[in-house]
Amino acid sequence: MAAPPSDDLARLREELAREEAELAELESDVEAKAAQLGYLHTEYTLNKMRLCHYYEPRLQPLRSTTCAAAEKESLLQLQIEWLERFVVEQERRSQGGVFIEVRDMKPAAEEYEKKARQTLLRCYEHILECPEDALRMISQYACPPDDAIATMQLVMKVRGEPLEECTWGAAQVLLSYNYFHDFFVTRSESLLKRCDLLDDNLMNELELFCANPHHAVAALYQVSIPIGCMGEWLRAIRDYYRVKLVTAPVLLPRSANTRHETERARSWLKAVTLGGGEAAESSAKRPSTLFVEKGNSAAAESAAADNTAATEMDTEEKAALESYEAVKENLQQFTQSAAEATELVVKLRHRLHRLRESVRVAEEERAAIEKEMEEKLEEVRGNYDGTMVPLEDQLEGTTETFVQRITRKSANTPLPPPTPADTAAVKSSEQVADAVPA
């Protein structure tokens, strides 16, 4: 006799309830393991952060030392390379004529200037390609990061803005889309035409800014794309005026103030690269000009020759000769002697060697601290591996089981055996079909 339909329905309900209970139990197990693993992961992350923060005060000064040394090393290498080319060219020219720095070193100086200009042009391209969304976002900051404020303040100082106007409110105007794309490059070019050399204090600020590892171009781009563009521009401006300082007076325009600007450039370079004491000593030993080195006898002979020639020349030729001698003296008065340049190269090389030695010591100390920190991190990681790794494996297994139970297909699940009621229903339907006439 077939089982009543009510018994089949009750059986199906029991199976469904049992299946739901098993799924609920699996779900609770997954949630519990996930929560436990999340707590452990948070605790592990906090312990790692505490450990890194403990070592950071010891690592940061060493990073700053390395970064500042790299910036100063690039300036020293530029000076050494320029002075070595200067000595070679002076010796070559002196064999068959008169060496005049502003004339004979101009091709080499223009070569350095061209490289600096190319860097500046690439920076302009990045400024013009800056996305509008990034500009809108940074210009709307009410409390921007400190690195962004420091960058924009220095940008406005370099552009010649008064100190009291170098505020974030003024920077927001500068970072507006139209001004940033349409006027910034033009103002930058006008700065290069207006200023042959930057003020010493402003140049010092640029050097300090570039020597800060937090102001590296990559770090500023992480703060914001426009701030990264401005940091890149400041570095390009610094490099451009470094070339003007190192090659002075070659790239400076001829004027009554050229000699003063040349002496100022050389004094700044010696103060930055050699330090105050060595710079003062070098300035005291340095002959004022190559023209003075000829001595009184050479000056007397020149005067006697001029007097003799004056008796044989007419007034026009004498005036032309005097004009030529004046120009020649004016050009020679900026020229260093080969001996002076060689002595300065030796000092710069010694300074570069000491700088590299200090960097080596700092790098060794930093490597030792980082190794110690890594060992501590490995110890912390080992403490959590014994609990987090097995728990993660258990979570993966439980989750996989839960998903399989939910997404299980009938094709992968064996069908239950037919009940007597199902068999009777099938036979009854077959008999009805046979009784129907064709």
Convert the pLDDT of each residue in 259-275 to its tens digit: 899 999 999 999 999 87
Determine which helix (DSSP H) or strand (DSSP E) holds 112, and give its type and residue range: helix 106-128
pLDDT digits (tens, 9 = 90+) for 300-339: 444 444 454 444 445 655 554 455 454 445 545 556 788 8
CA 84 to chain centre: 30
CA 297 to chain centre: 56
The two tokens of residue 359 are: 């960097």
CA 346 to chain centre: 31
Quick one: pLDDT band at residue 362, thresholds 50, 70, 90? very high
pLDDT for residue 420:
52
Are both 241 and 345 inside the same structural domain? no
pLDDT for residue 395:
67
Q: Could you give the C-alpha distances from 194 to 159, 253, 304, in angstroms and in order? A: 11, 12, 44
Are both 221 and 164 inside the same structural domain? yes
Q: Is the pLDDT of residue 145 over 80?
A: yes
Tell me if 8 is assigned to some domain.
Answer: no
pLDDT for residue 315:
60
Tell me if 114 is assigned to some domain.
Answer: yes
Are both 250 and 159 inside the same structural domain? yes
pLDDT for residue 376:
93
Are both 113 and 249 inside the same structural domain? yes
Tell me if 320 is assigned to some domain.
Answer: no
Residue 217 to residue 228: CA distance in whole angstroms: 6
pLDDT digits (tens, 9 = 90+) for 99-138: 889 999 999 999 999 999 999 999 999 999 999 999 999 9
Tell me if 185 is assigned to some domain.
Answer: yes
Tell me if 258 is assigned to some domain.
Answer: yes
Coil/strand/helix, residue 12:
helix
Quick one: pLDDT band at residue 359, thresholds 50, 70, 90? very high
Count CB-CB contacts under 10 A for residue 94. Answer: 11
Residue 370 to residue 65: CA distance in whole angstroms: 16
Q: Is the pLDDT of residue 13 over 90?
A: no
Residue 310 to residue 316: CA distance in whole angstroms: 11
Determine which helix (DSSP H) or strand (DSSP E) holds 375, and give its type and residue range: helix 338-406
Tell me if 428 is assigned to some domain.
Answer: no
- Residue 45: give the domain boundaries: 18-97+340-404
Instruction: Tell me which of 242, 275, 308 is where a domain ends.
Output: 275
Are both 27 and 174 inside the same structural domain? no
Instruction: Tell me which of 275, 291, 312 is where a domain ends.
Output: 275
Count CB-CB contacts under 10 A for residue 132. Answer: 10
Tell me if 437 is assigned to some domain.
Answer: no
pLDDT digits (tens, 9 = 90+) for 228-242: 999 999 999 999 999
Count CB-CB contacts under 10 A for residue 362. Answer: 17
pLDDT for residue 327:
46
Instruction: Tell me which of 222, 243, 275 is where a domain ends.
Output: 275
Are both 79 and 188 inside the same structural domain? no
Lowest mean pLDDT among 160-164, 173-177, 304-308, 385-389: 304-308
Residue 42 to residue 346: CA distance in whole angstroms: 57
Are both 89 and 187 inside the same structural domain? no
Among residues 61, 36, 44, 57, which one has the least CA distance to residue 377?
44
pLDDT for residue 2:
52
Q: Is the pLDDT of residue 28 over 90?
A: no
Are both 267 and 131 inside the same structural domain? yes
Tell me if 111 is assigned to some domain.
Answer: yes
Count CB-CB contacts under 10 A for residue 272. Answer: 19
Helices (H), 247-337: 258-273, 276-285, 290-293, 295-312, 315-332
Mean pLDDT (the chain) is 81
Domain total in the chain: 2
Are both 201 and 81 inside the same structural domain? no
Lowest mean pLDDT among 50-64, 238-252, 392-406, 411-425: 411-425
pLDDT for residue 290:
30
pLDDT digits (tens, 9 = 90+) for 189-225: 999 999 999 999 999 999 999 999 999 999 999 999 9
Coil/strand/helix, residue 433:
helix
Domain at 394, CATH number: 1.10.287
CB-based contact 198:241 (threshold 8 Å): yes
Buried/exposed code over 22-32 (b: 16+ C-beta within 10 A; e: otherwise): eeeebeebbee
pLDDT digits (tens, 9 = 90+) for 174-195: 999 999 998 999 999 999 999 9
Quick one: pLDDT band at residue 96, thresholds 50, 70, 90? confident
Residue 104 has, within 13 A of its CA and on its CB side, a CA count of: 21
Among residues 276, 297, 184, which one has the least CA distance to residue 230?
184
Are both 170 and 107 inside the same structural domain? yes
pLDDT for residue 32:
75
Domain at 209, CATH number: 1.20.920.60
pLDDT for residue 382:
85
pLDDT for residue 322:
52
Are both 203 and 267 inside the same structural domain? yes
> What one-letter code names the amino acid at 297?
S
pLDDT digits (tens, 9 = 90+) for 48-86: 899 999 999 999 999 999 999 999 999 999 999 999 999
Are both 82 and 146 inside the same structural domain? no
**9: exposed, middle or buried (Cβ count in 10 Å: 0-12, 13-18, 19+):** exposed
The residue that leads in pLDDT, 8 or 116, is: 116
